[in-house]
A and B are shown apart, each in its own frame.
Chain A
Amino acid sequence: MDFALSEEQAAIFDMARAFGEEHIAPFARDWESRGEIPKDLWPKLAELGFGGLYVREENGGSGLTRLDATLVFEALSMSCASVASFLSIHNMCAAMIDKFGSDEVRARFLPGAVSMESVWSYCLTEPGSGSDAAALKTRAAKTEAGYSLTGTKAFISGGGYSDAYIVMARTGDDSPRGISALIVEDGAEGLSFGGLEAKMGWKSQPTRQVQLDDCDIPAANLLGNEGEGFKYAMMGLDGGRLNISACSLGAAQAALDATIAYMGERKAFGQSIDQFQALQFRLADMEIELQAARTFLRQAAWKLDTGAPDATKFCAMAKKFVTEAASQVADQCLQLHGGYGYLADYGIEKIVRDLRVHQILEGTNEIMRLIVVRNLLASR
């Protein structure tokens, strides 16, 4: 058993972290107040291979494993969880095009996705279906030329910002097998967006409803096979859970690093506050929590990469554990900063706000527990 990162993995982490420190961290607050990540950031990331992390190398991607990808997201999230998680969504779309798309679909869409000249968003959730995703109502009716989509997608990261959307819509009956994955490009007739959602965190990525109203798309925009969309969506979940966990971990680590530095400088009652044993114990507890989270996350990623039969269960357990541990650490870091932690200048309150949603999306942490317990009971 070997827990060490390989030389390449260490290099991947260092590179992603250094890129974030130079090109993301100094601007993260500004992007948050503007409510948008400048689009010229994406080709810079793509040039380094971040646009197609798990797209196969022969198709222009970086061909990383899911464990490698967790390193990328942990490292980038040290600069900004909102930017890192947005990149994760784009990469899920790029991977779906690579994995399920026909040669023609790949040829049309993959180069733009990998170079991030086109930024991609993913539309599964609807106003009336979140955890129960298979109950989605958006309908794709067959037309002579392809499909006509009608319905509403909710909480769409990059809605009204991205260049293309992978939309899960019903082409058949009401069962999960009636769902297909369809590509809708920005500018399509019948595609419109709701107002900008005001959110607690993730403020630099615009979130809007995506509205489809007799939106016609060509038959060639079907991704993979008709009726298999839900299967594709489910296949992407484990990896998405790892990524969001990695985003939590990196941001919490950044909060802890900042807190350790702050506590060495801040004085109270005649000494720096890192000399108070009660506070030292809290630092130790946070370090233990994050290291445990990191080990658990990487084990889950390793299981997914090696095709372990219990990979889904481990991804669910890690997602629940890591996102909660990271949020608790971020909250403690805010507390240890005192009043300054509550001020935006210190960067801690942003981390607390950004990480909160990680317990809700990519499957709520309640759904994670459900996956675990179903697995437990089934193995009796």
Chain B
Amino acid sequence: MKILVPVKRVIDYNVKVRVKADGSGVDLANVKMSMNPFDEIAVEEAIRLKEAGKADEVVLVSIGVKQAQETIRNGLAMGADRGILVTAAEDVHTDIEPLAVAKILKAIVDEEQPGLVIMGKQAIDNDMNATGQMLAALLGWGQATFASELAVEGDSAVVTREVDGGLQTIKVALPAVVTADLRLNEPRYASLPNIMKAKKKPVDEKTAGDYGVDVAPRLEVVKTSEPPTRQAGEMVGSVDELVTKLKAAGAI
């Protein structure tokens, strides 16, 4: 079985995010970019399935600016076999919306015929949480979202999902789309020899046009703003004073 893992290049989670002066989005110029952490979990899960003999090839796809090749290389260094880079934007600030990404992925799935697509449940930049679901709908496949456990058994997958208030275990027929939640696994570090080997692994270069997908945005960002700055605290002298203040603030 082949596993397809879409990976997104996003602002590194350690970077302090700054909103652009015109409020149109987050400033990404000269900012460290990395693989979306949920996608890293998806890559790790796919590699583990391969190591367990449940899959024989792990293919990565990244859609965005051409620098997303680095993101693919990082996944190849972890142990994926090859990559497909779909250049769909010139400017790093152009976000390809979930529907366009899902359409491109559908075209790639049609070509590659994977038995399983594993992807992050959402990207940490826009937190859309939509691409996996849209892809499953476009393909007419089953979907198992927010996976915290995944077991491939024959022609189906048993997936434990993190839902509000607990865990739900479902069985989906393969092929299917699985989206990875935080606790699915802890991604490995790429070893030095594997980092060196990654550059020799093949990465196909495509464009959105190759798949006939229009990536023009359908959503308009009206405003982006910084979260409110934290207000200064206040020292209280006694428990009574604390309770009085909390009551006055309507907190209790």
Contacts and interface: CB of A to CB of B under 8 A. Distances in A.
Interface of A: 7-8, 10-12, 15, 18-19, 47-50, 53, 57, 62-64, 72
A67 to B, nearest CB: 13
Contact of A63 (B74, B190, B193, B198): B193
A7 B199 contact: yes
Among A7, A57, A62, max chain B CB count under 10 A is at: A7
Interface residues of B, number: 14
B73 A11 contact: yes
B196 A19 contact: no
B211 interface: no
Given A7-B199, A8-B198, A8-B199, A53 B192 contact: yes
30 contacts: A7-B70, A7-B199, A8-B73, A8-B196, A8-B198, A8-B199, A10-B70, A11-B73, A11-B74, A11-B77, A11-B190, A11-B195, A12-B195, A15-B189, A15-B190, A15-B192, A19-B189, A48-B190, A48-B191, A48-B192, A49-B193, A50-B192, A57-B196, A62-B191, A62-B193, A63-B193, A63-B196, A64-B192, A64-B196, A72-B192
B191 to A, nearest CB: 4
The 4 A-B pairs of least Cβ separation, nearest first, read A49-B192, A62-B192, A48-B191, A49-B191
| Interface of chain A, main secondary structure | helix
A53 B196 CA distance: 12
Contacts of B193: 49, 57, 62-63
Contacts of A64: 192, 196
A18 B195 CA distance: 15
A57 B196 CA distance: 10
Contacts of B73: 7-8, 11
Contacts of B70: 7, 10
Interface in B190-242: 190-196, 198-199
B190 A62 contact: no
Contact of B195 (A15, A19, A47, A57): A15
A62 B191 CA distance: 9
Nearest to A10: B70
Contacts of A48: 189-192
A15 B77 CA distance: 11
Nearest to A69: B192
Nearest to A18: B189
B147 to A, nearest CB: 24
A47 B192 contact: no
Nearest to B199: A8
Among B74, B192, B196, B198, max chain A CB count under 10 A is at: B192
Contacts of B192: 12, 15, 48-50, 53, 62, 64, 72
Contacts of B199: 7-8
A8 B190 CA distance: 11
Nearest to B32: A14
Nearest to B196: A8
Contacts of A53: 192
Contacts of B194: 49
Given A11-B190, A19-B189, A48-B192, 18 more contacts: A7-B73, A8-B198, A8-B199, A10-B70, A11-B73, A11-B198, A12-B192, A15-B190, A15-B195, A18-B189, A47-B191, A48-B190, A48-B191, A49-B191, A49-B194, A62-B191, A63-B196, A64-B192
A128 B190 CA distance: 45
A41 B191 CA distance: 15
Interface string B29-60: 00000000000000000000000000000000
A176 to B, nearest CB: 34
Contacts of A57: 193, 196
Interface in B166-197: 189-196
